[in-house]
Amino acid sequence: MKMGVIGYGRRIRNMLAEIRKADTDCRVVAITDVRNDEIRAADPSLKDVAFYEDYRLMLTENKLDGLLIGTRCSMHATIAVDVLPYGIPLFLEKPVATRMEDLVRLKSVADSTNTPVVVSFPLRTAPIVQLAKEIVNSGRIGSVEHVQAINNVPYGGVYYHHWYRDENETGGLFLQKATHDFDYIQYLLGERKPVRICAVTSKQIFKGDKPAGLKCRDCDERDTCPESMYRVHRAAHETPAGEYCCFAVDTGNEDSSSAIIQYDTGMHVAYSQNFVVRHRAGTRSCRLIGFRGTLEFDFYTNRITVHLHHTKRVETHQIGDDGEHFGGDAVLARNFIEVMRGTAVSLSPLQSGLDSALLCLKARESARTHTFQEVKWD
What is the structure's pLDDT at 371? 98
Radius of gyration from C-alpha coordinates of the chain: 21
Question: Considering the domain boundaries, does residue 30 fall inside one?
Answer: yes
pTM, 2 dp: 0.95
Residue 93 sits in the same domain as residue 18: yes
* Phi, psi angles (nearest 5°) of residue 355: -65, -45
Residue 237 sits in the same domain as residue 217: yes
Residue 278 sits in the same domain as residue 151: yes
| Amino acid found at 320 | G
Q: Please, which residues have CB within 8 angstroms of residue 188's CB and are 6 or more apart in sequence?
A: 129, 132, 133, 136, 144, 147, 286, 288
Beta partners for residue 5, in sequence order: 31, 68
Question: Considering the domain boundaries, does residue 23 fall inside one?
Answer: yes
Residue 186 sits in the same domain as residue 281: yes
What is the structure's pLDDT at 312? 87
Q: Please, which residues have CB within 8 angstroms of residue 107's CB and are 6 or more apart in sequence?
A: 354, 377
Residue 8 sits in the same domain as residue 118: yes
* Phi, psi angles (nearest 5°) of residue 273: -135, 150
Question: Considering the domain boundaries, does residue 163 fall inside one?
Answer: no
Question: Considering the domain boundaries, does residue 246 fall inside one?
Answer: yes
β-pair type (66-69, 2-6) = parallel
Residue 246 sits in the same domain as residue 258: no
* Phi, psi angles (nearest 5°) of residue 268: -140, 160
One pLDDT digit (tens) per residue for the chain, 378 residues: 999 999 999 999 999 999 999 999 999 999 999 999 999 999 999 999 999 999 999 999 999 999 999 999 999 999 999 999 999 999 999 999 999 999 999 999 999 999 999 999 999 999 999 999 999 999 999 999 999 999 999 999 999 999 999 999 999 999 999 999 999 999 999 999 999 999 999 999 999 999 999 999 899 999 999 999 888 777 666 666 578 999 999 999 999 999 999 999 999 999 999 999 999 999 999 999 999 999 999 999 999 999 999 998 999 999 987 778 899 999 999 999 999 999 999 999 999 999 999 999 999 999 999 999 999 997
| Amino acid found at 191 | E
Residue 91 sits in the same domain as residue 180: no
Separation CA 91–CA 329 (nearest Å): 12
Question: Considering the domain boundaries, does residue 300 fall inside one?
Answer: yes
Question: Considering the domain boundaries, does residue 164 fall inside one?
Answer: no
CATH of the domain at 139: 3.30.360.10
Boundary (domain end) residue, out of 224, 251, 278: 251
Q: With beta carbons less than 8 A apart as the criterion, state whether 98 and 77 touch.
A: yes
Residue 145 sits in the same domain as residue 187: yes
Q: With beta carbons less than 8 A apart as the criterion, state whether 269 and 149 touch.
A: yes
Residue 183 sits in the same domain as residue 283: yes
Residue 104 sits in the same domain as residue 221: no
**HSE, side-chain direction, 13 A CA sphere, residue 188:** 36
Q: With beta carbons less than 8 A apart as the criterion, state whether 167 and 252 touch.
A: yes
Question: Considering the domain boundaries, does residue 161 fall inside one?
Answer: no
What is the structure's pLDDT at 131? 97
Residue 182 sits in the same domain as residue 274: yes
Residue 181 sits in the same domain as residue 293: yes
Count CB atoms within 10 A of the CB of residue 271: 23
Number of domains comprising the chain: 3
Domain interval for residue 315: 124-155+171-204+253-321+355-374
Question: Considering the domain boundaries, does residue 145 fall inside one?
Answer: yes
Separation CA 217–CA 214 (nearest Å): 9
Spell out the SS3 assignment of the chain: CEEEEECCCHHHHHHHHHHHHHCCCCEEEEEECCCHHHHHHHCHHHCCCEEECCHHHHHHHCCCCEEEECCCHHHHHHHHHHHHHHCCCEEECCCCCCCHHHHHHHHHHHHHCCCCEEECCHHHHCHHHHHHHHHHHHCCCCCCCEEEEEEECCCCCHHHHCHHHCHHHHCCHHHHHHHHHHHHHHHHHCCCCEEEEEEEEECCCCCCCECCCCEHHHCCCCCCCCCCHHHHHHHCCCCCCCCECCCECCCCCCCEEEEEEEECCCCEEEEEEECCCCHHHCEEEEEEECCCEEEEEECCCCEEEEEECCCCEEEEEECCCCCHHHHHHHHHHHHHHHHHHCCCCCCCCHHHHHHHHHHHHHHHHHHHHCCCEECCCC
CATH of the domain at 15: 3.40.50.720
Separation CA 80–CA 187 (nearest Å): 23
